[in-house]
A and B are shown apart, each in its own frame.
Chain A
Amino acid sequence: MSARLLEVRGLRTHFFTKAGVVKAVDDVSFGVDRGRVLGLVGESGSGKSMTGYSIMGLIDPPGRIVAGSITLAGTELTTLGDAAWRNLRGNRVAMVFQDPMMTLNPVLRIDTQMVEAVRAHHDVSRDAALQRCREALVQVGIASPDERLLGYPHQFSGGMRQRVAIAIALVNKPDVIIADEPTTALDVTIQGQILHEMQRLSRESGTALIWITHDLSVIAGLADEVCVMYAGRIVESGGVDEVLDTPMHPYTRGLLDSVPSRNTPGRPLSQIRGMTPSLLALGEACAFRERCARAVDACRTAPVTQSIGTRGVRCVNPLS
C-alpha cells in the first residue's frame, strides 16, 4: 500500500462555527493510483465534497484541516504555503465542480479562460497555449474546437459547458482530477457521454480520478475502488465489486437496498429509517447507530476501521 500517487491519512477538517465545532471530515484515509478511478459516495452532508476541497487546499475559515496528512507523489500538501499551492492547484491537481457555470466566467470567451489556465503554470506563447486548449477540447469530445474557443459560456448547453470545465481541468495534464458531482445536473444521455469521455481519459492519460457522487450506480459503472462516507467518516472502502456485491457496513447495505432498480416494482422499497444526524451533535460513537438495525452496545464507543484483505469497514458488528 506504499507510495500511492495521492495518499490521504487521518484527515480531519473541522469548521469552528458559533453553534459549535462541525466535524465535516473526521479521520478519513484513502489513496488512489495513476490511471485509477476512486468513487467517493455519500449523501448530502456526509463530508464527501469537503474531503475534495481539503485535497485542493480550498478550505476557508471558519474551516481548518486540524489533523492528518495529504501527500501527492511524496509531497505533503497540508503544510504548503500560498505560493506553492498556486503552482500546484490547476496544474497537478484539478477540480471539476457540479455546476459548470460556477467554474466558467460568464463575461470571458472560452479561449481567454483556457489560455489563462495554461499560462498561469507554463511559460509558453499564446499560440502554443491555444494549441494545448484545442487538444484538451478534442479530448473531451468537442467536435469543432476552433469555433468553440471563440464562444462565451452562455452560448453552450449544460453538457457542453461541463465538457469545457473538464477540458480546463485537463489542460495542464494534472496527476489527479477531483470531480465533484459533475454529471448530477445533466440529462441521462449527456451523462452517458461524459462518463464515457472520463473513463477513456483516465485510462489513456494515466490521470487518477476521484469521482465524488451520491449515485451508487454511476460508481458501479465507472470506478475501480469505492469509499462510502457517512457523517464525515469513511464507513466502508474496497474494490467496487466487493463493496457493491457483498457490502459489510449496514449503511452501505441499506443504501444499496433502497435503490429502486434493486427492488420489485410496485412493492415498498426497503428503506433506512430516520434521518442523517446533525454534524454538530456527533460524539465519538458510531454516527449510524440510531438508524442501524444491527446496533449493539459496543456501537457507543468509537468504531475503528477493520481491515479485511483489501477492504476496510468501520463497524463493530459488520455483515459477514
Chain B
Amino acid sequence: MNAAAAPLLELRGVSKRFERKLDFAGRLARRMGANLRETTVHAVDNVSLAVREGEVVGLVGESGCGKSTLGRLVARILEPSEGERLWRGQPYAAFAGGASRRERLAVQMVFQDPFASLNPRLRIADIVGEAPVVHGLVARRDRDSFVAQVLDRVGMDASLMRRFPHQFSGGQRSRIGIARALAVNPRFLVCDEAVAALDVSIQAQVLNLFIRLREELQLTYLFISHDLGVIRHVSDRVVVMYLGRVVESGPTAEIYARPNHPYTAALIEEVPRIDARHRSYVPIRGEIPSPLAPPPGCHFHPRCPHAFERCRVEAPALREIAPGRLSACHLNDIPRS
C-alpha cells in the first residue's frame, strides 16, 4: 500500500457537542434567579482518525464513550461542531450538490438493532431497492432483479423479497440491513454494533459475511463494538475511546499483546475468556463518569490505579509512542526504570 497516498477517510480534530437549550419555563426560572444553565455533552472531543483504503478499523469503548456518535459523524448522519472530515483528501463539504452524489453515497452505515432499523411496513424489496432507484443507480423496472442480486450477495434467498421484516429472524434481518447499505455501491461501511444483538452461532455467520464482503467488494470498514473479541477478530487496527476522547490506537495484535494505556489494559483484562477458568475477578474501580460532567484532566484518572497529581489537572495529549501506535497517558513521560 502506498503510504504517501491520502487516506480514504480522515477526521481532523472533530468534536461534537450536544446542547440542551432551556425550555420556556427554564428560561423564566432563570430570569427569576434560579441557577439553571444549558447543559452540554461533549460526545466527541477533538478526535483525529485516518482510515486507509481496504483497512478495517475497530472502534471500542464502553457505553457513553462517543463511539456511535463518531460513527454517525463519519456516515454524515450528524454534522460536527468543530473539525474537518476528509474523503480521499477532500473535505466532505466539497461533495455538496447533485454532481458528486456518488461520492456521498460511498459511506454507508449498518445499524445496531436489526429490529428497529427496518421499517416494519415496507417489504424487503422496498427497503433494499428504494435508495438505488431514488439515486438513479438502477432503473425502476430493473429494481427487483437488482434487489435479487444484492440479497444473493448477503446470502439470502431472493424469493423472500416480498416479505415484511417481522417474518425474518434476527440474523436474517441483519443481512437485510447489510443488503440495504450495499445497494448503493458504497466503498466504506460504518458498522455500529452490527452483531451485538445476535446469538453466538448467528453472530459467527454474520461476521463471516462481513469478512467475505470485504474481500469480494474491497470494502473498508469502521467497525464499532463494545465486544473486544469481535474487534480483535475483524480489525487490522484498533482505536479505543473513553468519554469522548481517543485514549489509544494501534495495530490490533500489538494493542492486545501490549496495551499501553491503563484503560485499554483494564478493558482487555476484564473480558471474560473461555480459556480463563474459575478466575478471580479483580475489577477496576468505580463507575464510568457521566459525560455531562467529565472529570478534569485525564478523564480516566478517578478509576486509574496509576493516577498521580498531573493526571488530575492536565489532559494528556495523544502522542506517538511507537511507529503506528498512539496513546494518551502521562505515564509515558516518566522514564521507565
Taking Cβ atoms with an 8 Å cutoff, the residues of A that contact B are 43-44, 157-160, 187-193, 195-196, 199, 214-218, 220-222, 224, 240-241, 244, 254-256, 258-263, 265-272, 275-276
Contact = CB atoms under 8 A, between A and B. Distances in A.
A191 B270 contact: yes
Interface stretch (B45-53, B98-106, B282-290): B282-290
Contacts of A259: 200, 204, 229, 274
Nearest to A263: B233
Closest 3 interchain pairs by CB? A258-B204, A196-B281, A260-B233
Given A270-B204, A272-B204, A188 B212 contact: no
Contacts of A188: 62, 226, 228, 267, 270-271
A191 B267 CA distance: 11
Contacts of B320: none
Contact of B273 (A193, A221, A254): A221
Nearest to A183: B272
Nearest to B276: A221
A14 B204 CA distance: 30
Interface in B244-283: 252-253, 266-267, 270-283
Nearest to A254: B201
Of the listed residues B63, B201, B205, the one surrounded by the most CB atoms of chain A closer than 10 A to its CB is B201
Given A43-B200, A220-B277, A275-B169, A215 B272 contact: yes
A187 B284 contact: no
Contacts of A260: 204, 207, 227, 229-230, 232-234
14 contacts: A43-B202, A188-B228, A188-B270, A196-B281, A214-B200, A216-B274, A217-B229, A220-B273, A220-B275, A260-B232, A260-B233, A265-B253, A268-B212, A270-B204
Nearest to B287: A157
Given A160-B287, A196-B281, A265 B204 contact: no
A258 B195 CA distance: 13
Contacts of A272: 201, 204-205
Given A199-B280, A216-B274, A260-B233, 11 more contacts: A158-B63, A159-B287, A188-B267, A195-B283, A196-B281, A220-B277, A221-B277, A259-B200, A260-B204, A265-B252, A271-B201
Contacts of A224: 278
Nearest to A273: B205
Given A160-B287, A190-B287, A199 B273 contact: no
B185 interface: no
B152 interface: no
Interface in B174-217: 199-205, 207-208, 211-212
B302 interface: no
Given A221-B278, A240-B277, A255 B284 contact: no
Contacts, number: 141
Contact of A271 (B63, B204, B229, B282): B204
Contacts of B287: 157, 159-160, 190
Nearest to A261: B229
Contacts of B26: none
Interface of B: 62-63, 169-171, 199-205, 207-208, 211-212, 226-230, 232-234, 236, 252-253, 266-267, 270-284, 287-288, 303
A269 B232 CA distance: 12
B56 to A, nearest CB: 8
Contact of A192 (B63, B212, B284): B284
B98 to A, nearest CB: 39
Nearest to A224: B278
Given A187-B226, A268-B212, A269-B207, A221 B288 contact: no
B276 A220 contact: yes
A79 B208 CA distance: 48
A127 B180 CA distance: 60
Contacts of B227: 260
A249 B267 CA distance: 32
Contacts of B200: 43, 214-216, 255, 258-259
Contacts of A220: 272-277
B267 A189 contact: yes
B175 to A, nearest CB: 12
Nearest to A216: B274
B272 A221 contact: yes
Contacts of A276: 199, 201
Nearest to A213: B272
Nearest to B256: A265
B279 A261 contact: no
A193 B283 contact: yes
A45 to B, nearest CB: 9
A196 B171 contact: no
Contact of B199 (A43, A160, A190, A240): A43
A199 to B, nearest CB: 6
B193 to A, nearest CB: 13
A188 B226 CA distance: 8
B315 to A, nearest CB: 21
